[in-house]
Amino acid sequence: MLDVRRLRLLRDLAHLGTIAAVAEAHTYTASAVSQQLAALQREAGVRLLERAGRRVALTPTGAALVRHTEVVLAALEAAEATLAAGRDGLSGGVRIGAFPSAVRTLLPAALVALSREHPALDLTVTELDPVAVPAALRQRRLDVALTHDYDIVPAEPDPALDSTPLLNETVFLAVPAAHDPPGRQDERTDPVAGARDADWIVGTPGTLCHAVAMHACQAAGYQPVVRHRADDFTALLALVAAGQGVGLVPELALSHPLPPVTLLPLALRRRTSVAYRRGAADHPAVAACVAALRTAAASITADRPPTDPPTATDPPNASG
């Protein structure tokens, strides 16, 4: 019978790439991980790892073993979910991760509803970028995470994770209000293409916001001139209003006293969803979080009827 603890190390190695990183994630020493993986390999009777430079890579058999491990771990997660359901009330800690704009918009209402209906729940919110969500969930540093992806930067399906969709928003190109749409104004089909010569305000490298801005420009056939870096959309809007450049803003991030900017709707859409470990969907605490977030998302979309579906000819909240 294979040892699940060792399989978990192998699974994490597949994602983290080095034994040292696996050790850090498990608060072990690298030596311990190396020994355990060696034991797993010995027990398996097949080569699972091989050195690749100064790191180790999985053999095809090792990768296949990881795929099976995902199933095992999902089943164990589901087992723990039923245990949690067997316990009397909804209690214990739930670590929620969310991207910054969700912490401001979606999350507060959901948190209020959750702590009202389940006062025994210990909710802990951590702000983190969507790119960090999968690893955080897998390494059990989070239980539930708000995340999103874009058409042009789709999240690759992760066998270890599951999710339910929450929102599907329009993304706008924010440009200074005083000006007309920058660049060639006849390019109405794609405002991003028209912003070829504009200065850009994007997120810091490594975040999803940064990646999507880069991809959008790349799809329009150019490399953007990055003038400013701002991860906070309110800050970004303020910079745009100050004439410092243009940037991408999702609908949810539009602050209510909107600075004087013009919002050009793009074909690009942002899909927000709640993610959790596969098998945890039946965990009562996770289910409660998902339900609360769904109602919060529903009330948000109800508050802003004209924005969904987007009316390209009449951008909402656009002020002159």
Task: Please name the amino acid found at residue 166.
Answer: L
Task: Please name the amino acid found at residue 185.
Answer: Q
If binding is defined by CB under 8 A, does position 188 make contact with a copy of itself? Answer: no
* Nearer to a copy of itself (CB atom), residue 5 or residue 188: 5
Q: Are 91 and 120 in contact (CB under 8 A)?
A: yes
H-only helix segments in 118-147: 133-138
* Nearer to DNA (CB atom), residue 58 or residue 84: 58
If binding is defined by CB under 8 A, does position 320 make contact with a copy of itself? Answer: no
* Nearer to a copy of itself (CB atom), residue 82 or residue 223: 82
Among 38, 39, 52, 75, the residue binding a copy of itself under the rule CB under 8 A is 75
Of 80-88, 106-114, 145-153, 217-225, the segment contacting a copy of itself by CB under 8 A is: 80-88
Of 49-57, 78-86, 125-133, 183-191, the segment contacting a copy of itself by CB under 8 A is: 78-86
If binding is defined by CB under 8 A, does position 87 make contact with a copy of itself? Answer: yes
H-only helix segments in the chain: 4-16, 19-25, 30-44, 60-86, 100-104, 106-117, 133-138, 191-194, 208-219, 233-241, 284-303
| Residues of this chain, 20-49, that bind a copy of itself according to CB under 8 A | 44-46
If binding is defined by CB under 8 A, does position 11 make contact with a copy of itself? Answer: no
- Count Cβ atoms within 10 A of the Cβ of residue 163 and give its class: 0-12 exposed, 13-18 middle, 19 or more buried: buried
How many Cβ atoms from other residues are within 10 Å of residue 299's Cβ?
Answer: 12
Matching residue, tokens 């979606």: 106
How many Cβ atoms from other residues are within 10 Å of residue 126's Cβ?
Answer: 14
Residues 6+ apart with CB under 8 A from 199: 225, 226, 227, 228, 244, 245, 246
Q: Please report, to the nearest 10 degrees, the dihedral formed by the alpha carbons of residues 264, 269, 270, 276 taken in order.
A: 170
Shortest Å, Cβ 64 to a copy of itself: 5
Shortest Å, Cβ 78 to a copy of itself: 6
Instruction: Pick what 219 binds: DNA, a copy of itself, none; C-beta below 5 to 8 Å, kind-dependent.
Output: none
If binding is defined by CB under 8 A, does position 8 make contact with a copy of itself? Answer: yes
Shortest Å, Cβ 221 to DNA: 31
Q: Are 143 and 131 in contact (CB under 8 A)?
A: no
Shortest Å, Cβ 22 to DNA: 8
* Nearer to DNA (CB atom), residue 31 or residue 319: 31
The alpha carbon of residue 207 and the mean position of all alpha carbons in its chain are separated, in whole angstroms, by 10
* Nearer to DNA (CB atom), residue 53 or residue 305: 53
* Nearer to DNA (CB atom), residue 20 or residue 291: 20
* Nearer to DNA (CB atom), residue 26 or residue 294: 26
Instruction: Pick what 39 binds: a copy of itself, DNA, none; C-beta below 5 to 8 Å, kind-dependent.
Output: DNA
Looking at residue 266, the DSSP 8-state letter turns out to be: E
**Residues pairing with 270 in the sheet:** 150, 169
Task: Please name the amino acid found at residue 109.
Answer: A
If binding is defined by CB under 8 A, does position 184 make contact with a copy of itself? Answer: no
Stated as kind and residue range, the H or E segment containing 165 is: strand 161-176
The alpha carbon of residue 161 and the mean position of all alpha carbons in its chain are separated, in whole angstroms, by 12
* Nearer to DNA (CB atom), residue 141 or residue 215: 141
Among 83, 225, 242, 298, the residue binding a copy of itself under the rule CB under 8 A is 83
Judged by the rule CB under 8 A, the positions of this chain that interact with a copy of itself are: 1-2, 4-5, 7-8, 44-46, 59-61, 64-65, 68-69, 71-72, 75-76, 78-80, 82-83, 86-87
